[in-house]
Chains A and B, each alone.
Chain A
Amino acid sequence: MAIAIERSRVSARRRNRYRARRWIGHALTYLGLAAALFFFLGPFFWIVTTSLKGNEDFFAYPPAWIPTPPSLAHYAALFTRSSGARYFTNSMVISSLSMLAALAVSLPTAYSIARWRFGGGFLSVLLLVLRMLPAIALIIPIYIMYKMFGLTNSYLGLVIIYTVVYIPFAVWLMVGFIRDFPIEIEEAAMIDGCSRLRALVQVVVPIIAPGLAVVALFAFIATWNEFLFAVVLTGIETKTMMVLVTSFTSGGTDAFYGEASASVVLGVLPAFAIAFILQRYLVKGLALGGTKG
């Protein structure tokens, strides 16, 4: 009897200790996450609130954490005085077109490499080598070439360069997705009368869609955030949002902290929104590329 009571006490003590350990573990995890969130989102929170503050609140002490009342005046100024609408539209158009072009070119390339080892292994290595070249090393020859062909300050010029720069990454990602896709399903579709193209479009693409979403997401974000080509190859008509952000934030912002913050918010918002919309595909897509059949 005494032994039985002692055992239940011991197991209760163990249970409590286990619970306490688990609780401490959870508390530490959340504490760590909170610290990481504060570290990464704190500056962004400050930028967002500054973009909504009046000029007198920028340097107020104690700091005005939440602007009262919040004002959209800096956003309005950005769109009226600083051609913000034009730059925002340019970024949207260029990023979207580059994303679509990268998908359109990369999918058949990746498919041919995955299924037929097109280029005999050389093509995929060559693509990887292209990826290794830093943009700064290419910028002057590209500028001269673009100048010759009249491609500077045009949407087409930017879409071409972004597509070309992004293709290696997209192809390498997609090759992984397609290799993991069971060829038997494709063959079954072809036995049922599908052409190879139809099998690719109607059978393969819907199944590897999460992977394509990842490629699209990265292509959009990479293009949206790109600065070097955007500053060198553009003119007044084709400048992008990142150039506007930098023209506010470099060389002293002086009395334009509000507009500078508003430009940063608008600069990151679309990439943030696209990532948010596609996030459910993101995990699936990344996992898809990582499996081995």
Chain B
Amino acid sequence: MKRFTLLASMAVALVGLAVVGGLWVSPAGAQRPYEGQTIRAVVNAEYVKYSLSLIEKDLYDKLGVKIETEVIPLDAFVPKTLLEFNSGASPWDLVMFGPSNMPDYGRHFEPLDPWIEKLKLEFYMDDIADVYKKLMLRWAGKIVSMPYDGDVHIMFWNKTAFERADNKKKFKAKYGYDLAPPKTWRQWDDQSEFFNGWGWDGSDRKLFGAGASYKPSASGFSYHWWRARFFAYGGQYFDANMKPLINTAAALRALEEMVKTMPYYPPGVLLFESEEPKTMLIKGEVPLLYSWTSTGKRVGNPAESLIIGKAGFGLVPGAEIDGKLVHRPSMTPGRAMAVSKYSKKKEVTMKVLEFISLPDQSLKIVMDPKTIMDPWRVTHFRSEKFRKSFPGADEYLDAIEKTFPHVVPDPVIPGADEYQRKLSFEITEALARRKAPKDALETAFGEWEKITDRRGRDKQKAAWGEKLAEMKALGIEYHPDWAAKAK
């Protein structure tokens, strides 16, 4: 009897422990529903891998998932990833890509809508800046990706250069109008000429007129710097019949202006990628620069910036057409994240995509000065934390938000990267004075025609037709008369 009582009480104790244990375990299980799972992501630079590391702890705490990230260097990224995808498989679950390459990648991605319904995912679509929703997320009419890096160009200036009384006086005497951050390309060129070669900050240093990136590497820096002028002068990539418009009057005017103003830029500008002019801006060596918005975070980073609180932020200059200012800043190329169609872990990867896109998690990524990920949610622009993160951060975020309605996307058609590289090479040839601007643009025209023929004119025309309609809806059309009219 005694033995029975002992056994019974032990059994009761065990059952009790199991129940308590179960209660204790189950909330954690619910909290980390995918405990022990690891997904594979692929990105194109170490700093993108770093940006994912900013959310990995929270991701593990909430979902129990770890991300193993493969970095494929930028220049090899598109060929290598497409090679894998085109073989009908992919070692990755989560894929970072440039949205301008969507026509090449889109068919390898899993549409999000069925999963949104199935898993009750929340991507807060109303909180995504309109331009990304319209241009970056879809393939064949379906949403297949979420933004990760909202790349657009804005203008940065050093307020010291524009506020010194002596500078204002000298400028007005020479050019006949008041010195203020430029609104048109003509003003930009006047000011870069004015500021070049002397200490506009009051020092004895020989400073430069403006900064720029003119190297034709990656998808083509010099091309990205040219196109803001080209579109402001009424340019467009192709006409409706897929004939390139990159040798038109708008294109020529834009390039000739750039060639003419080359002496006002720092020596070596033809070899500059994105970081060199940013560094010159934050060290107070150039008074003007238009570049990617991540520049603002370097401006506000006390570890390296000498112009904290002295920087201005605004729209990239444009052209005055019939008394109205037209701004055409570049939206390029950006980064987005998608789930591979070939992934064997689609459900958990969808949950990860939702998690990294959440307003609070994505804010961590776009706020960090060491990432070059730029804001893309409305809540990013209006986040009090972000707006107070450095002196002038509020002006910086306002400038980005004001830029969105004016941006021009990349030519989002198959082979976009190839078209851009060819044109960029020719632009740099002209900037280096190895070719006349007209010859360079004619050569680029021929190269674009060859690419179109090689990829199939009808196929390219159909893809471009869709983009042409989207751009028209944004108010971007070819205006052959603007190049002559633009002031």
Query: Interface of A with B (CB < 8 Å)?
Result: 55-56, 58-59, 61, 81-82, 140, 143-144, 147, 153, 231-232, 235-236, 239, 243-244, 246-248, 250-256, 259-260
Contacts of A256 in B (CB 8 A): 46-47, 50, 370
For residue A246, give the distance in angstroms from its CB to the closest CB of chain B.
4
Asked if A231 meets B370 with Cβ closer than 8 Å, knowing A236-B40, A251-B45, A256-B50, the reply is no
Complex Cα–Cα for A55 and B301 (A): 11
4 further contact pairs, Cβ within 8 A, besides A147-B89, A248-B46, A251-B45: A56-B303, A143-B87, A255-B370, A256-B50
For residue A75, give the distance in angstroms from its CB to the closest CB of chain B.
14
Q: Which listed residue (A61, A82, A153, A253) contacts B91, Cβ 8 A?
A: A153
B283 within 8 A of A: yes
Complex Cα–Cα for A55 and B148 (A): 26
For residue B77, give the distance in angstroms from its CB to the closest CB of chain A.
9
Complex Cα–Cα for A82 and B89 (A): 26
A-B contact pairs, 9 of them (CB 8 A): A56-B303, A82-B46, A140-B83, A143-B83, A147-B87, A236-B40, A236-B91, A250-B75, A255-B301
Contacts of B74 in A (CB 8 A): 247, 250-251
- Flag if A254 contacts B72 (CB, 8 Å): no
Asked if A82 meets B45 with Cβ closer than 8 Å, knowing A59-B304, A140-B83, A250-B73, the reply is no
Q: Which chain A residue has the least Cβ–Cβ distance from B88?
A: A147
- Flag if B304 contacts A58 (CB, 8 Å): yes
Asked if A254 meets B275 with Cβ closer than 8 Å, knowing A81-B50, A239-B70, A247-B71, the reply is yes
**How many residue pairs bridge A and B at CB < 8 Å?**
92
- Flag if A251 contacts B218 (CB, 8 Å): yes
- Flag if A255 contacts B45 (CB, 8 Å): no
Asked if A254 meets B370 with Cβ closer than 8 Å, knowing A81-B53, A243-B73, the reply is yes
- Flag if A231 contacts B76 (CB, 8 Å): yes
Contacts of A143 in B (CB 8 A): 83, 87
Q: Which listed residue (B45, B83, B298, B370) contacts A247, Cβ 8 A?
A: B45
- Flag if B72 contacts A252 (CB, 8 Å): no
- Flag if A253 contacts B83 (CB, 8 Å): no
Contacts of A236 in B (CB 8 A): 40, 68-70, 91
For residue B304, give the distance in angstroms from its CB to the closest CB of chain A.
6
Interface string of B45-64 (1 = CB under 8 A from A): 11101100100000000000
Contacts of A239 in B (CB 8 A): 70-71
Choose among A61, A140, A247, A248 the residue with the greatest number of B CB atoms under 10 Å from its CB.
Answer: A247
Asked if A144 meets B87 with Cβ closer than 8 Å, knowing A231-B73, A251-B218, the reply is yes
Q: Which chain A residue has the least Cβ–Cβ distance from B41?
A: A236
Q: Which listed residue (B46, B53, B83, B273) contacts A259, Cβ 8 A?
A: B46
Contacts of A235 in B (CB 8 A): 70, 91
Contacts of B206 in A (CB 8 A): none
For residue B372, give the distance in angstroms from its CB to the closest CB of chain A.
5
Interface residues of B in 240-270 (CB under 8 A from A): none
- Flag if A255 contacts B369 (CB, 8 Å): yes
Number of interface residues of B (CB under 8 A): 37
For residue B195, give the distance in angstroms from its CB to the closest CB of chain A.
19
- Flag if A59 contacts B283 (CB, 8 Å): yes
- Flag if B49 contacts A82 (CB, 8 Å): yes
Q: Which chain B residue has the least Cβ–Cβ distance from A239?
A: B70
Q: Which listed residue (A59, A61, A81, A250) contacts B45, Cβ 8 A?
A: A250
Contacts of A56 in B (CB 8 A): 303-304
For residue A76, give the distance in angstroms from its CB to the closest CB of chain B.
15
- Flag if A252 contacts B273 (CB, 8 Å): yes
B164 within 8 A of A: no
Complex Cα–Cα for A260 and B301 (A): 20
B274 within 8 A of A: yes
Interface residues of B in 411-444 (CB under 8 A from A): none
Complex Cα–Cα for A196 and B369 (A): 67
Interface string of B106-145 (1 = CB under 8 A from A): 0000000000000000000000000000000000000000
- Flag if A59 contacts B279 (CB, 8 Å): yes
Asked if A254 meets B70 with Cβ closer than 8 Å, knowing A56-B303, A61-B283, A232-B80, the reply is no
B44 within 8 A of A: yes
Q: Which listed residue (B45, B69, B370) contacts A252, Cβ 8 A?
A: B45
Nearest 4 A/B pairs, CB to CB: A251-B74, A246-B73, A247-B71, A255-B370
Asked if A252 meets B83 with Cβ closer than 8 Å, knowing A236-B40, A236-B68, A247-B73, the reply is no
Contacts of A243 in B (CB 8 A): 71-73
Asked if A55 meets B303 with Cβ closer than 8 Å, knowing A144-B87, A231-B72, A232-B83, the reply is yes
Complex Cα–Cα for A257 and B304 (A): 12
Q: Which chain A residue has the least Cβ–Cβ distance from B73?
A: A246
Q: Which chain B residue has the least Cβ–Cβ distance from A87?
A: B71
Q: Which chain B residue has the least Cβ–Cβ distance from A243?
A: B73
Contacts of A82 in B (CB 8 A): 46, 49, 71
Complex Cα–Cα for A253 and B79 (A): 21
For residue B179, give the distance in angstroms from its CB to the closest CB of chain A.
27
Complex Cα–Cα for A248 and B294 (A): 18
Contacts of B370 in A (CB 8 A): 254-256
- Flag if B274 contacts A252 (CB, 8 Å): yes
Contacts of B68 in A (CB 8 A): 236
Interface string of B10-45 (1 = CB under 8 A from A): 000000000000000000000000000000100011
Complex Cα–Cα for A146 and B275 (A): 38
Contacts of B273 in A (CB 8 A): 252
Contacts of B44 in A (CB 8 A): 247, 251
For residue B474, give the distance in angstroms from its CB to the closest CB of chain A.
28
Contacts of A144 in B (CB 8 A): 87
Contacts of B79 in A (CB 8 A): 232
Choose among A235, A236, A250, A251 the residue with the greatest number of B CB atoms under 10 Å from its CB.
Answer: A251
Interface residues of B in 72-99 (CB under 8 A from A): 72-76, 79-80, 83, 87, 89, 91
